[in-house]
Homo-oligomer: A and B are copies of this chain.
Amino acid sequence: MNTPPSGAPRRATISDVAREAGTGKTSISRYLNGELSVLSPQLRARIEAAIERLDYQPNQMARGLKRGRNRLIGMLVADLTNPYSVEVLQGVEAACHALGYMPLICHAANEVDMERRFLQLLTTYRVEGVIVNALGVSEETLRPVGEGGIPAVLVDRSVDGLVTDMVGLDNQGATALATRHLVERGFDRLWFVVQPFEHISSRRQREAAFHQALEQYPQASGRTVVLELGDADELAQTLSALDAELDAAIAAHEDHARAGVALFAANGPVALALARHLNQRHGPDWQKRVALLSIDDPEWAELAGITTIRQPTYDIGYRAVEFLHQRIDGEQSSARDCLLPGELIERASTAR
């Protein structure tokens, strides 16, 4: 029923090599595992030759089956088109390299079902741990990890049913920082724009922190707008409703250039969508009408002169692996949260 792939020829096994070298499998195994000191030079030479001749490559499946570990960790990413994810990944990779792991990347592409399948894949392949940038649905999906399953560390967001280490941005602090910056610059009509919350804790937290921060500034008002980036129609509709709100706010103000209207994007993708829309509608001068600030500092933000809160993405990834490493080594302490601070990068989009 399930025939082997016919594309590649059969590979040599350890037995083939042993026969070719005229010795036993054990010696080959020893050679492979670097126990060279225990091998006579001539045997060693014969083994080397045999391996070369047969182009032998040990089957990791079999090795992994035998010894318990494989030094593999999985990195499950919700959305690779978000530069944030790639930046975190770089921290993950650096830490893996330092600690001797190989990171396997799995991309859920915003599909809950993919998330489930990859998590399943990773656990059944017995990777030693996973770093999860989750879409969020707990239950069924995340059962194989956490308490009973393989060690897991969450990145950027937590998941309801799951108690594990998590590392991400200090959303509370970052949002307060950004809000204060806007108000101090004289923007008092604020719109917080965010993708649908779904199960993504960081989005909720940022939105909540935004309104909470605003309470300290009675002169300012804030509204939340939910932007569905994936659906072009709905996106256009929401944006045009937003346009109307902004137009009204600006028109109501005697000095249009100082109407004090600002958009606060909850993350990079939202900021990009807003900037593209405004640019399309008002041309390059859109920045004179409305201020824009974003959490996340993608590369284009500097080019476009957008003020941002830069996340310590590299550190987030690096710390996540460190945590995971400790868990793999048997660390039993209760789940930890590591909240790293964001940094305000002031640019033209919030100057007056």
Contact = CB atoms under 8 A, between A and B. Distances in A.
Contact of A5 (B57, B80, B89, B328): B328
A89 B93 contact: no
B61 A126 contact: yes
Contact of A90 (B7, B109, B304): B109
A303 B302 contact: no
Nearest to A125: B60
A4 B59 contact: no
Interface in A293-317: 298-300, 302-305
A303 B282 CA distance: 12
B6 A330 contact: yes
A8 interface: yes
A3 interface: yes
Given A104-B105, A106-B104, A276-B303, A7 B59 contact: no
A57 B123 contact: yes
A107 interface: yes
A58 B117 contact: no
A5 B69 contact: yes
Contacts of A89: 80, 107
A275 B89 CA distance: 26
Contacts of A161: none
Nearest to A81: B86
Interface residues of A, number: 68
A4 B63 CA distance: 12
A81 B300 CA distance: 13
A118 interface: yes
A230 interface: no
A284 interface: yes
A239 to B, nearest CB: 15
A246 B90 CA distance: 35
Contacts of A328: 5-7
Contacts of A4: 67-69
Contacts of A109: 90, 93
A148 B86 CA distance: 34
A40 interface: no
A49 to B, nearest CB: 17
Nearest to A108: B93
A144 interface: yes
A333 interface: no
A149 interface: yes
A136 interface: no
A236 interface: no
